[in-house]
Amino acid sequence: MMYGRGFAFADGPMSGGWLLGGALHGLFGLALLVGLVLFVVWVAKHAQSSSTHHDDTPAAFPAAPVDDAVAIARTRLATGEITPAQYREIVSALGGPTGS
């Protein structure tokens, strides 16, 4: 008989009575917790990136470069680098306003 030690089956590996059993049990719990945290972080990042991208098609060109190109052509016309016919050709190719 073992007096003062309680029940004999309470000293097994699952109760933490053995060093290796208790350590493995603790490591498994820690690994499970870390895995759960990493999964939650991954889901949060995936949900955030999905909500910011509405479509997969990139925008071709913003509208401002056409206006800038027409302004450059107008400046080149004013300085005499191009003729009025070349200016109208550039503007019509760009699809901009044809004002002189």
22, HSE (Cβ side, Cα atoms, 13 Å) = 8
Measure the CA–CA gap between 1 and 62, rounded to whole angstroms. 88
Q: In this structure, are 15 and 44 located in the same domain?
A: yes
- Assigned domain for 4 exists: no
pLDDT bracket for residue 54 (50, 70, 90)? low
Section 31-36 average pLDDT: 90
Domain count, the chain: 2
pLDDT tier for residue 56 given thresholds of 50, 70 and 90: low
Tell whether 13 and 47 lie within a shared domain.
yes
The answer as to whether 57 is a domain residue is no
How buried is 91 (Cβ within 10 angstroms: 0-12 exposed, 13-18 middle, 19+ buried)?
Answer: buried
pTM confidence score: 0.34
With respect to residue 86, please indicate whether it lies within any of the assigned structural domains: yes
Mean pLDDT for the stretch of residues 6-33: 67
Instruction: Residue 32: give the domain boundaries.
Output: 9-52
Distance of CA 11 to the CA centre of its chain: 51
Query: Can you tell me the distance from the alpha carbon of 6 to that of 24, in angstroms, rounded to the nearest whole number?
Result: 24
